[in-house]
Each structure stands twice: as C-alpha cells, then as structure tokens.
C-alpha cells in the first residue's frame, strides 16, 4: 500500500521535554502543542511516539541492585506512559484532542494499542500518542516510532531533536568543524555510525521505504521544508 503523505509520525524524546532538573518544561510543552496544531492545520494527521529518557532509561539501572535488564526496560516503558499522560492533559488544555495508546495494557488509564482504532482516531483529527514503546525489552522508542509509522502507513517519520536542527557529521557541541548534512541515505547513517536513531529503527525505515526527517523541536512544523533539517532517504 502506498504511504499516506498527509499522515506523519513524530518521535519526541523524553529528554526533549525536560530542562535542567525539571522533568517537564511548560514553554516546550506549549510550543510543541502549537507546532502540532500548525501541522494539523496544513491537513496532516499527527501521531506521536514519546520516549522516557527524562524519567528513566533501562540501561542506567540494569545490573544495579540485582535488577535484570528486562525489568529495567519495563520500568523504562512505564516512564513513557507517564510522559504520554502528561502530554495528553497538557495538549488537551491547549485545545488538541488526544488519545493515548499503550503497547502495555492498563485499561484504567489509557487505551491498549489497536492499529485500526488508532487509524480511526487520526482520521477524526485526534492526536494519538503511542506509549509503552514496543512493549518489549531491548527495544527503544525510536524503533517503536518506525514500527508505528509503518503500520499506520505514515508518509514520514519525523525525529524531533532537542537543540540540533538535523544530522551533523560529528557532535556540533564537541567539534567546531562539524557540518550539517542536508540529505543522506539510511545505509550511510548506519555505516558512519551517525547518531540519528538506533540502528534497528534506521534499518526498519530503510527496508520498508520510510523516509526520516530530522528537525529541531523548535521547528517541528518545518519538517516538510526541503531547505530545513536533514532528510534520511530509505536506501
């Protein structure tokens, strides 16, 4: 089936929601809600995958206190649900209609992931936030974003970065010679080990013809602009 160019999946890292010691920062939430509204006004259906890195990352705890990696990862997945609930209430306060769809069932607090249902929400103009990652340890929310974008037939996966406006040849905070890359293939991202998303997510997009656009959180609604951000082609 051909991908729907008017359907977009945006991956927000947990870290992008936080500022210093604050787990959430209102200016960022407010700006993100506004950008999502702008994107919807251009006729797009908008789905989000949220990470959990501002609260918890499985690998930071795994191995400590006799906690096994899968246990730590489940705790990480729960952190993504917490973020999704915060985003839902905040976005609704800003006039968006939102549904949270979790890979791990918790019927008292959100819907369980059901692709058909998510499609219907999107078609009705609701923002769907996918929480709970893939529901499986050893994966990440980058991979979740690629998988959900593919299953829902999204035309683009947008990776919203905190503080950078695309993919750079090296970390611009550490290397003054780092330059921004406008277009690159997914294979080259993998070969050069560029930090765009984890390798599973990149190869999933490459193997299933899903382009990735890397943008800054501050300019989320410019993802369509050919002169902005970095386009990662599925080749």
* Positions that interact with ligand UDP (CB under 6 A): 13-15, 51-53, 57-59, 73, 76-77, 79-80, 133-134, 136-137, 139-141, 144
Tell the smallest beta-carbon distance from residue 66 to ligand UDP (Å): 17
Given the complex with ligand UDP, which of 52 and 234 has the nearer CB atom?
A: 52
Q: How far is the CB of 123 from ligand UDP (least distance, A)?
A: 26
Asked if 48 and 188 count as a contact pair (C-beta separation under 8 A), the reply is no
Query: Using CA atoms, how far apart are residues 75 and 1, in angstroms rounded to an integer?
Result: 36
Residue 9 C-beta: closest distance to ligand UDP, Å: 14
Q: For the chain, what is the total number of helices (H) and then of strands (E)?
A: 7, 11
Q: Supply the DSSP symbol for 65.
A: G
Whether 44 and 6 have beta carbons less than 8 Å apart is answered as yes
Q: Is the CB of 81 or the CB of 96 nearer to ligand UDP?
A: 81
How is residue 22 annotated by DSSP? B
Identity of the residue, 132 or 166, whose beta carbon is nearer to ligand UDP in the bound complex:
132
CB nearer to ligand UDP: give 53 or 166: 53
CB of 60 to ligand UDP, least distance (A): 8
The pairing of strands 183-185 and 230-233 is: parallel
CB of 17 to ligand UDP, least distance (A): 8
User: Are the C-beta atoms of residues 29 and 60 closer than 8 Å to each other?
Assistant: no
3-state secondary structure of 46: strand
H or E stretch including 130? strand 127-131
Nearest to ligand UDP of 31, 97 (CB atom)? 31
3-state secondary structure of 87: helix
């Amino acid at each position: 089936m051909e991908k729907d160019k008017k359907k977009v999946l945006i991956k927000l890292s947990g870290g992008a929601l936080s500022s210093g010691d604050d787990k959430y920062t209102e200016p960022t939430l407010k700006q993100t809600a506004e950008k999502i509204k702008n994107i919807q006004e251009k006729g797009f259906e908008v789905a989000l995958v949220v990470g959990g890195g501002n609260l918890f990352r499985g690998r930071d705890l795994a191995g400590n206190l006799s906690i096994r990696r899968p246990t730590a990862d489940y705790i990480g997945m729960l952190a993504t649900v917490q973020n999704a609930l915060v985003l839902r209430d905040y976005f609704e306060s800003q006039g968006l209609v939102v549904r949270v769809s979790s890979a791990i069932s918790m019927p008292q607090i959100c819907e369980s992931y059901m692709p058909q249902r998510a499609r219907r929400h999107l078609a009705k103009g609701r923002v769907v936030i996918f929480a709970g990652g893939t529901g499986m340890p050893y994966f990440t929310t980058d991979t979740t974003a690629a998988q959900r974008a593919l299953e829902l037939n999204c035309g683009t996966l947008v990776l919203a970065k905190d503080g950078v406006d695309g993919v750079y040849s090296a970390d611009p905070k550490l290397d003054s010679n780092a330059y921004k890359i406008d277009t690159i293939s997914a294979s080259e991202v993998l070969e050069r080990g560029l930090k765009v998303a984890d390798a599973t997510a990149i190869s999933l997009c490459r193997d299933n013809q899903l382009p990735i656009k890397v943008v800054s959180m501050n300019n989320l609604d410019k993802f369509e602009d050919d002169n902005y951000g970095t386009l990662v082609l599925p080749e």
